[in-house]
């Protein structure tokens, strides 16, 4: 028989969403600054930034807010 998966609580869903958002932001920041972002994948440590080029997207919302507050 297969293993049953219990549904996640609202708090668990929110936690997973926040972790995914933080991981996305860490990769984005690593690409912008040339800093490696390491993860464990298929039993090996892998740098996610190695094969990706820095994105030319606009700066993060936070840096935009900081810039606006200084003006």
Phi and psi for 42 in degrees, rounded to 5? Answer: 50, 40
pLDDT of residue 65: 56
Using the structure block, give the residue that is written with the tokens 């490696």: 36
Break the chain into its structural domains and give their ranges.
Answer: 9-50
CA distance 58 to 31: 13
- pLDDT band, residue 2 (cuts 50/70/90): confident
Phi and psi for 47 in degrees, rounded to 5? Answer: -90, 115
Enter the pTM of the model: 0.62
Let me know how many helices (H) and strands (E) the chain has, helices first.
2, 2
- Are 63 and 36 in contact by the 8 Å Cβ rule? The answer is no
- pLDDT band, residue 4 (cuts 50/70/90): confident
pLDDT of residue 55: 63
């Amino acid at each position: 028989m297969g293993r049953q998966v219990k549904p996640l609580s609202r708090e668990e869903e929110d936690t997973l969403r926040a972790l995914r958002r933080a991981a996305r932001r860490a990769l984005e920041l690593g690409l912008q600054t040339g800093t490696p972002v390491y993860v464990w994948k298929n039993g090996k440590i892998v740098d996610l930034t190695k094969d990706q080029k820095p994105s030319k997207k606009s700066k993060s919302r936070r840096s935009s807010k900081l810039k606006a507050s200084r003006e």
